[in-house]
Amino acid sequence: MMTLITELFLMPLVAFVIGLFMVLMMRKIGARLQRRVGPPFFQPLIDIIKFHSKETQISHGLIHDIGIIMAVGGYIAAETLLPVPGMDGIADKGGIIALTYFLMIPSLGLALGVGQCANPNGSIGISRALTAMLAYDIPFVIVIFGVSWHYGTTNLVEMVNYQQANGWGIVEMPILALAGLFTLQGIMGKQPFEIYVAPAEIATGPMVEMGGKYMGGLFIMQAFQFYTAGVLYTTLFLGGGENWPTFLMKIFIVVSIPIMIAYMFPRYRTEDMLRLMWKWPVIAGLIGLALVMH
């Protein structure tokens, strides 16, 4: 019991730290691709501290606050559902389906908070973000189905065990893994699928009224988001965590791929994103599914 509670506290903390490094990696990769130096090592943390140390901050109401709490808190809770080397948390109590829906809680919280800001730019951003979710979740659930079917379980711990005994999922279902990678781009909300942010058009959409610790909360959320995406993909396809060094390597590599793609693309319009997401990854997913289930 004590171990479990320790894990429950430790897992989000580890996730946050790793997530910060991932954010740093993203910014560094972006900078290097643009032939810049990029931010200093502690920049992600410094940004968060700065945001939280603002002296005059405005709130648009209780729901605005609760939105941020839900966004951060939801991710904190979700991290305990993701098994990492040595720590399973409560991964066996939910499984992949529960996790998928758990990950919607932070988004929903954010959406509520943004809604209360009474800024149409934010609402437009949320409408686009939700549409994007509709776009990438369809191939994503195909992938989830195929993976769960293949491993015969929805329990992430079991999946990891299976892969460590029988080889990585990416070897056995390469096409599904490809489709999964594609959707990862959408899940992480990076270019070319970040029309919902669109800084020059709708002033960063959901973030338009977020300043101070509100924005700081969103920066924390972003760290969690990167971590979650990386760990999830690793758990599904790359054998999960055997030990920390390989695990870290895997998740950083996983996250770096969408980021590298992101900095080479402009963005798609919402409808084009829908078409793209509903076409290629879905086709790949279905083929992969057919191969898995045949």
254, 184 Cβ separation under 8 angstroms: yes
Per-residue mark of binding to another protein, 156-195 (x: CB under 8 A): --x------------------------------------x
Q: Does 12 contact another protein by CB under 8 A?
A: yes
Contacts with another protein: how many residues (CB under 8 A)? Answer: 110
Binder among 6, 57, 164, 166 for another protein (CB under 8 A): 57
Binder among 10, 127, 248, 260 for another protein (CB under 8 A): 127
Q: Does 112 contact another protein by CB under 8 A?
A: yes
Q: Compute CA 176 distance to the chain's CA centroid, rounded to the nearest angstrom.
A: 18
Stretch that binds another protein, among 17-25, 103-111, 164-172, 249-257 (CB under 8 A): 103-111
Q: Which is closer to another protein, CB of 3 or CB of 253?
A: 3
Distance of closest approach, residue 138 Cβ to another protein, in angstroms? 6
Burial class (CB in 10 A: 0-12, 13-18, 19+), 8: middle
Contacts to another protein from residues 222-261, by CB under 8 A: none
User: In this structure, is the dihedral angle defined by the CA atoms of residues 29, 31, 36 and 37, taken in order, positive or negative?
Assistant: negative
Length of the chain equals: 294
Neighbours of 132 (CB within 10 A): 22
162, 155 Cβ separation under 8 angstroms: no
Binder among 6, 41, 50, 86 for another protein (CB under 8 A): 50
Stretch that binds another protein, among 69-77, 165-173, 182-190, 252-260 (CB under 8 A): 69-77
Using CA atoms, how far residue 84 sits from 72, 140, 231, in Å, is: 20, 21, 8
Neighbours of 224 (CB within 10 A): 25
CB-based contacts of 116, cutoff 8 Å, min separation 6: 60, 61, 62, 63, 64, 67
Q: Which is closer to another protein, CB of 163 or CB of 245?
A: 163
Q: Which is closer to another protein, CB of 73 or CB of 174?
A: 73
Binder among 102, 193, 227, 237 for another protein (CB under 8 A): 102
Stretch that binds another protein, among 141-149, 228-236, 240-248, 257-265 (CB under 8 A): 141-149
Residue the block writes with tokens 């994007």: 132
Neighbours of 30 (CB within 10 A): 18
Q: Does 287 contact another protein by CB under 8 A?
A: no
Q: Does 19 contact another protein by CB under 8 A?
A: no
Q: C-alpha angle with apex 251: 46 to 253, nearest 5 degrees?
A: 95
Distance of closest approach, residue 250 Cβ to another protein, in angstroms? 22
Stretch that binds another protein, among 173-181, 185-193, 209-217, 244-252 (CB under 8 A): 209-217
**What are residue 262's phi and psi, to 5 degrees?**
-55, -45
Binder among 10, 14, 25, 27 for another protein (CB under 8 A): 27
User: Which token pair is 294?
Assistant: 């045949």
